[in-house]
């Protein structure tokens, strides 16, 4: 595939950021070499969504889905729905366990927004390669927008939702066969509706799921409306009242069409543990420090974590009040690892939060920012963990790339095992799990997406 960059040779000043982005989105559809990677992301999302369907937010959205119209789109709620509602429902459940894929420098999670929009947009004539090409295009646009908005946007805005609306629109536009001009209007329409404030992380509630639900639904609708002839504001990113001016004082518009030799999907990380990615560097550093030796938590005097500032803003929670807050607590993640070993979803349950031994361990874990990690963020998410033992020993471990990042990738087998484990936890039969793995693996050459749809909503 040729380098991904907008064609601005004729009149660069005449093209807005949205129009340049639309050109890149169309180019990114021609990427068959990346279809197997795209299928792996779809399997990863499917595992996360299967388990998310039985989470509290999953149950709430399943109840909401019953109030919507019936339709032809299969859902993990075991009922067919209209496309918009299916996109919203699946958007809500893919990140419930905080195990969704992540792109670091754009500080967002592509899968839980883009894949629900794609599944809802797919029709009887959609093939596996069609779906995967659209997935790559959606990731390309979402990551480029997130990188352009940057950390100054992320301080207040949930980039997975804001940039996600653009990504969902790009993916749906690709699957619907929209040209560059139509795609530009789809992106513009999605952008003018985007939203998602980080106030959700300050309170004990489940509203974060609504961010991804809305982004997936509205991105799909924007593409459908653009196909029907509706136009949108082409300056929605870089205009005087666009996203850059309104929400990102340090935005870098050049990130929109910065040349790249491969699609951005190759820079996306997978998450091995059920916690916010900002907690993962500390988890990984502690695992590296502990090794395979048996360690007694009662022998520890204190644990110190040094990391980047955003990890503190999101995950410095010594006393999480519920399961959702526990997933955003470095203290809880490390205490659970010290007490029970390899991180498991069960370690974040309400019952586990009450464990007095866990509370005691959380109390001796401190979190602070460090210039060495802040300087590399958001390109790299790193941490240093220092353990002071009661016998006077002091041990430490530091890393700049976390398990699942491109520099330290999870194997295909590990990703498949992760998906199967989550599906098992969701109550799926071995036969359904096997069918899911085979359906995703077959997508690069599949004439239809019927096998995938049957996994999502098995026939009686």
Contact status, residue 73 vs residue 82, Cβ threshold 8 Å: yes
Report DSSP letters for 328-370, one per residue.
T-HHHHHHHHHHHSS--GGGGSHHHHT-HHHHHHHHTEEEEE-
- For residue 223, pLDDT beyond 60: yes
Task: Examine the pLDDT at 102 and tell me if it is beyond 70.
Answer: yes
pLDDT, residue 8, reads: 54
Q: Choose among 100, 144, 112, 60: nearest CA to 219.
A: 112
pLDDT, average across residues 193-222: 96
Residue 432: the pLDDT is 98
Is residue 375 classed exposed, middle or buried when 0-12, 13-18 and 19+ CB atoms within 10 A define those classes?
A: exposed
List, for residues 131-177, the tens digit of each pLDDT value: 999 999 999 999 999 999 999 999 999 999 999 999 999 999 999 99
CATH of 12-267, one of 1.10.4100.10, 1.10.3720.10, 3.30.360.10, 2.60.40.10: 1.10.4100.10
Task: Assign 7 a pLDDT band (cuts: 50, 70, 90).
Answer: low
- Give the start-to-end residue ranges of the domains of the chain: 12-267, 277-399
Q: Which residues 6+ apart lie within 8 Å of 63 measured at CB? A: none
CATH 2.40.50.140 fits 277-399, yes or no: no
Q: What span, in angstroms and rounded, lies between the C-alpha atoms of 145 and 167?
A: 8
Q: Measured between alpha carbons, how far is 380 from 384 in angstroms, rounded to an integer?
A: 13
d(CA 157, CA 401): 25
Nearest of 93, 83, 143 to residue 119 by alpha carbon? 83
For the entire predicted model, the pTM comes to 0.95
> Is 149 within 8 Å of 243 (Cβ atoms)?
yes
Residue whose C-alpha is closest to residue 272's, from 382, 98, 424, 404: 404
First to last CA, the chain: 43
Q: What angle do CA 207, 211, 216 make, to 5 degrees?
A: 140
Q: Are strands 300-307 and 365-369 parallel, antiparallel or unpaired?
A: parallel
Closest CA to 220 of 262, 176, 279: 176
- Per residue in 403-434, pLDDT (tens digit) is 999 999 999 999 999 999 999 999 999 999 99
* Residue 401 predicted with pLDDT over 70: yes
Looking at residue 150, its pLDDT comes to 97
Among residues 155, 169, 151, 38, the alpha carbon closest in space to that of 113 is found at 169
Q: Write out the two tokens for 39.
A: 């299928």
- What percent of the chain clears pLDDT 90, i.e. is strictly above it? 90
What pLDDT does 295 receive? Answer: 65
Q: 389: which strand partners? A: 300
pLDDT in tens, 326-380: 999 999 999 999 999 999 989 998 888 889 999 999 999 999 999 999 999 999 9
CA 76 to chain centre: 18
**What pLDDT does residue 10 have?**
46
């Amino acid at each position: 595939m040729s380098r991904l960059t907008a064609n601005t040779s004729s009149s660069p000043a005449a093209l807005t950021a949205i129009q340049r982005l639309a050109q890149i989105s169309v180019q990114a559809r021609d990427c068959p070499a990346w279809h197997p990677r795209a299928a792996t992301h779809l399997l990863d999302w499917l595992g996360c969504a299967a388990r998310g369907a039985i989470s509290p937010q999953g149950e709430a959205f399943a109840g909401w889905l019953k109030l919507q119209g019936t339709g032809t789109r299969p859902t993990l709620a075991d009922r067919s729905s209209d496309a918009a509602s299916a996109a919203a429902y699946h958007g809500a459940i893919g990140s419930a366990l905080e195990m969704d894929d992540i792109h670091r420098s754009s500080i967002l999670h592509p899968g839980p927004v883009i894949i629900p929009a794609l599944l809802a947009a797919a029709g009887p004539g959609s093939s596996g390669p069609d779906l995967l090409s659209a997935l790559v295009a959606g990731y390309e646009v979402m990551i480029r927008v997130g990188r352009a908005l940057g950390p100054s946007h992320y301080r207040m805005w949930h980039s997975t939702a804001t940039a996600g609306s653009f990504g969902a629109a790009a993916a749906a536009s690709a699957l619907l066969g929209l040209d560059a001009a139509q795609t530009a209007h789809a992106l513009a329409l999605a952008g003018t509706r985007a939203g998602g404030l980080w106030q959700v992380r300050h309170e004990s509630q489940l509203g974060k799921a609504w961010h991804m639900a809305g982004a997936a639904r509205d991105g799909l609708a924007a593409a459908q409306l653009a196909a029907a002839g509706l136009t949108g504001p082409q300056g929605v990113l870089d205009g005087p009242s666009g996203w850059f001016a309104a929400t990102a004082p340090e935005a870098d518009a050049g990130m929109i069409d910065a040349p790249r030799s491969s699609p951005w999907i190759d820079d996306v990380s997978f998450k091995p543990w059920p916690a916010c990615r900002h907690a993962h560097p500390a988890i990984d550093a502690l695992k590296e420090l502990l090794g395979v030796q048996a360690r007694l938590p009662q022998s520890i005097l204190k644990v110190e974590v040094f990391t980047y500032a955003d990890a503190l803003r999101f995950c410095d929670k010594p006393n999480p009040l519920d399961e959702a807050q526990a997933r955003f607590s470095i203290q809880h993640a490390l205490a659970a690892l010290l007490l029970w070993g390899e991180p498991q979803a069960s370690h974040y349950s309400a019952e586990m939060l009450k464990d007095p031994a866990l509370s005691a361990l959380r109390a001796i874990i401190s979190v602070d920012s460090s210039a060495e990690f802040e300087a590399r963020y958001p390109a790299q998410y790193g941490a240093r963990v220092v353990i002071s033992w009661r016998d006077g020993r002091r041990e430490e471990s530091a890393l700049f790339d976390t398990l699942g990042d491109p520099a330290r990738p999870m194997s295909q087998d590990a990703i498949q095992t992760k998906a199967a484990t989550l599906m098992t936890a969701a109550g799926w039969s071995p036969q359904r799990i096997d069918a899911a793995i085979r359906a995703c693996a077959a997508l690069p050459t599949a004439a239809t997406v019927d096998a995938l749809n049957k996994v999502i909503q098995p026939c009686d």
